[in-house]
Amino acid sequence: MIDKLRLMFAEIGLGEDEAEVYLICLKLGPATVLQISKKTNILRATLYKIFSRLESKNLVSQIEKDGRTFFVAEDPKLLLEKIKEEEIKKKKALEIISNLLPDLTAIATRKDHPKVRLFEGQKAISELWMMPLYTQGVKEILSLIDFDSLCSLLPVEDVLKFRDMRISKNIKFRVMRKKEIKTAYVPEYDERELREKRFVPKNFELSAGFTIFSNKVTIIITPGEPFGILIESHYFADTMRMIFERLWENCEKSV
């Protein structure tokens, strides 16, 4: 019985405290806040807030008698009417959403609608670094990175996995980085490994690196607490490609 009542009250938007107070009022008839507080073990200050909500829903009213305020639960038949009202509202809401669904879907799938995600922690940044290899249709990856900072952040396995998977998928890699690096896991064979690199000037400090692929741009910031950002936008990716190409033209070629 109690469970059925709770389910019914939940259907019409009543919280557990509101339902409890309404039932006590229904049982007691006209009662003061003190009487209801003793029955429910709810503080009087809290009860006044609950009564305010119940009154706004037309489920409780006040009457004055001999200078005292009594609270009275309204006829339970009103609950049935309220449930009917809620059902009508739900049907109308469903109709509105159904009519708007094609437009909402179009907005969600628009190519020019940017999506931004934040990646925090080493595992999440590894996922971000590997993302180009799991994105369909990628033929080339463009990247400006601080290789030493990246290698100090990611496990060796992820750096080598990126290279090996990229080669197996026949994805070209154009990268700009510093000429002198402290980290070197294995010798670099650019042509065999589908890689072309150029070198930024010695005084070119890289606190953040970016990678461009498909309609996505990833940014990895390594100083302090490392984090990454994924921006999915056709327009932003094209703009970053133009910036990359301009930098590429002015960087030192690898011999």
- pLDDT digits over 32-73, tens only? 999 999 988 999 889 899 888 888 777 888 888 888 899 988
* Region of poorest pLDDT, from 2-11, 86-95, 96-105: 2-11
DSSP assignment letter at 31: B
For helices 16-28 and 2-11, give the axis angle rounded to 10 degrees. 120
Bridge partners of 229, per DSSP, are 118, 219
Task: Quick: pLDDT tens for 147-189.
Answer: 877 777 788 788 888 989 999 999 999 999 887 776 555 556 7
Whether the pLDDT of residue 30 is over 60: the answer is yes
- pLDDT of 83 reads 67
Could you tell me what percent of the chain has a pLDDT over 90? Answer: 29
pLDDT at 150 (0 to 100)? 79
Choose among 11, 51, 9: nearest CA to 31: 51
What is the set of domains in the chain, with CATH numbers?
Answer: 2-75 (1.10.10.10), 115-253 (3.30.870.10)
- Report whether 229 contacts 125 (CB < 8 A): no
Is residue 111 scored above 60 in pLDDT? no
pLDDT the model gives residue 127: 92
Residue 7, pLDDT above cutoff 70? no
Residue 22, pLDDT above cutoff 60 = yes
DSSP-assigned states of every residue in 141-170:
EEEE--HHHHHHHS-HHHHHHHHHHHHHTT
Q: How many residues does the chain have?
A: 255
Q: Rounded to whole angstroms, how far apart are CA atoms 59 and 69? A: 16
Tell me the Ramachandran region of residue 86: left when phi exceeds 0, alpha when psi lies from -120 to 50, beta otherwise: alpha
Residue 3 has pLDDT above 70, yes or no: no
Q: Is the pLDDT of residue 104 over 70?
A: no
- Asked if the model's pLDDT at residue 206 lies above 60, the reply is yes
